[in-house]
Structure formats: C-alpha cells, structure tokens
Amino acid sequence: MTENNQKTWVAEDPWKGLRRITDARIALGRAGSSLPLAAWMAFKLDHARARDAVHSPFQQAQLARELQTAGMECVQLESEVAHRMEYLTRPDKGRRLSTASRDQLKNKASGCDICLVIGDGLSARAIHENAREFTLLAVPLLHRAGFRISPICLVRNARVAIGDEIGEILGARLTVMLIGERPGLSAPNSMGVYMTMHPRTGTTDERRNCISNIRQGGLPPLEGVRKLGYLVEEAFKLGTSGVELKDRMTAGHLPFGISLESLTGS
C-alpha cells in the first residue's frame, strides 16, 4: 500500500481550517466511523501529559530559591494532605493548613495589605512554567502602588480555599492565590489566579474573582498581571470582590497608572 493510497482512507472535515486558530480538538476528520490514527494517537499523548501534570511533584524549594534570589521572602507550607492520592480524594484537606504550617505562619508579622500564595493545585507543571514570571511582575507592581505584601507562601497539595486561612492568619486585607488549574487535553499547563477581599476561613467561591488560563498559548503572564492590577484597584476601591466586582477593564489599561513595560525593562 502506498502512502498516497493510505491518505485516501481519511475523510477530512470541511471545518479543518478552524484548527489554525485554536488548540481545541475539533474538525479532526474520520477514518471509517472512527478517528484517524494520527488524531487518536495525539489524544492518547495529550491524556498522558494531563495525567503527568496532576501527579508531577511540586518543585517548591526550587521556586522558593528563585524568588529569594530576586529579593522576595518566601515561606514553604503544606496542607493537611499526607500524599497525592489523598489530595485527589479529600479536597477538604487541601483547603486547610497542616498544624506545623499553621504554627510556622503565626510567627510571621501580620497586618499586610496583600497576601500572595502559590499552590501546586492540580498541575504543578502550570506553576513551574508560569508562577515565577507572573510573581516577578506582580510584586513590583503592587509595591510601586504602595501595598504592603506578605512573604510569598508556597503551599504543597493546595486547594484554592487554603488562601483564605493563610490570609486570615496574616491579617491580610486581600489574598491573591496562584494555582495550577485542572489540566485539559490541550492545556496541561494553565495557571489560575484567584483574588479574595477580606479572606476568612469558610469564604465561599462567589466572593472570589478568577483570572484563568495563564500560560504561553493562553493569556500571557504580562496580561494576567495587568488584569490582576485592575481587579486589585477595584477591590480596594469598592471594598469587596467576587460577584460584586465586575470586570470593565479597557484595552491597554495601566493599573495604578503604572506601565507594565517599565517593570520588564522593555
């Protein structure tokens, strides 16, 4: 069988041109009543990458060293989860600090404006690829805007709500949490950023704002920081967050009147 003959077995989808503008699994064509072999193998590969993202260990110490090299104080914490399988089956434990981490945090000074938390969530890969760049842009921006920032809290086996307990212990007015999102088959490396005003244990999700899909190929970190800056501006202006804070940011918005390009040196 020649290569040309093999190609005739695949019926192409008339919408295949849309694949130029999205990573979504669309217009794949068919071979008989099934997917073409190449599309099926690509699906298996993406599924394996998603599983790897969930189970890859959080390189917590390495990220802490990188941020400390940039002059940022870091605290390494952990949730109540004992191991990764427990993390997947007991979300409630991922929302609470371990006793040792709670005691460690209580020794830190309280009363900051913004508490910055970084947790592995469901994709440590997303944090490894995006958190450093995002933090190195966001922290200088918030400092120049006059906010007091907490030590950066790196949390292993974290769920979003653990930021509420951390913010409460540190007496923060607002918590910003960077976390690895649930991997998709076209994006195992998406990072989400959640912002909560007046963080307290037991806060529910309608009190949060979320910036999603931060990654190369999604929302670039620079634009994610621009959006965060806008939301922080609005949160402190209104004294609230979540459903009571609507996103009306205009294109090219300068958060706090500061050019983000001035932070990157570009």
**Could you please report the per-residue DSSP string of 68-81?**
HHTT--EEEEEBS-
Among residues of the chain, what percentage have pLDDT more than 90? 77
Q: How far apart are CA 155 and CA 120, in angstroms?
A: 7
Q: How far apart are CA 150 and CA 106, in angstroms?
A: 12
Output the pLDDT for position 1. 47
Q: How far apart are CA 134 and CA 237, in angstroms?
A: 23
Q: How far apart are CA 196 and CA 167, in angstroms?
A: 9
**pLDDT band per the 50, 70, 90 thresholds, residue 12:** confident
- Neighbouring residues of 26: CB distance < 8 A, sequence distance ≥ 6: 13, 15, 18, 19
Output the pLDDT for position 5. 53
The CATH number of domain 55-263 is 3.40.50.11240: yes
What mean pLDDT is predicted for residues 7-29?
A: 84
- Neighbouring residues of 187: CB distance < 8 A, sequence distance ≥ 6: 23, 213, 215, 217, 218
Sheet of strand 74-78, all strands in order from the earlier edge strand to the far edge: 74-78, 152-156, 114-119, 174-180, 191-197, 208-214
Output the pLDDT for position 51. 92
Residue 127 tokens read as 């944090």
What mean pLDDT is predicted for residues 59-83?
A: 96
| Boundaries of every domain in the chain | 55-263
Reported as type and span, the H/E element at residue 192 is strand 191-197
| Per-residue pLDDT reduced to its tens digit, 115-156 | 999 999 999 999 999 999 999 999 999 999 999 999 999 999
What mean pLDDT is predicted for residues 72-96?
A: 96
Output the pLDDT for position 162. 97
**pLDDT band per the 50, 70, 90 thresholds, residue 9:** confident
| Per-residue pLDDT reduced to its tens digit, 218-240 | 999 999 999 999 999 999 999 99
pLDDT value at 32 more than 90? no
Q: Per the annotation, does 210 bind a ligand?
A: yes
Q: Which of 50-64, 157-171, 203-217, 250-264 has the lowest mean pLDDT?
A: 250-264
CB 199 within 8 A of CB 175: yes
Bin 261: left if φ > 0, else alpha if -120 < ψ < 50, else beta: alpha
Q: Per the annotation, does 153 bind a ligand?
A: no
Q: Per the annotation, does 160 bind a ligand?
A: yes
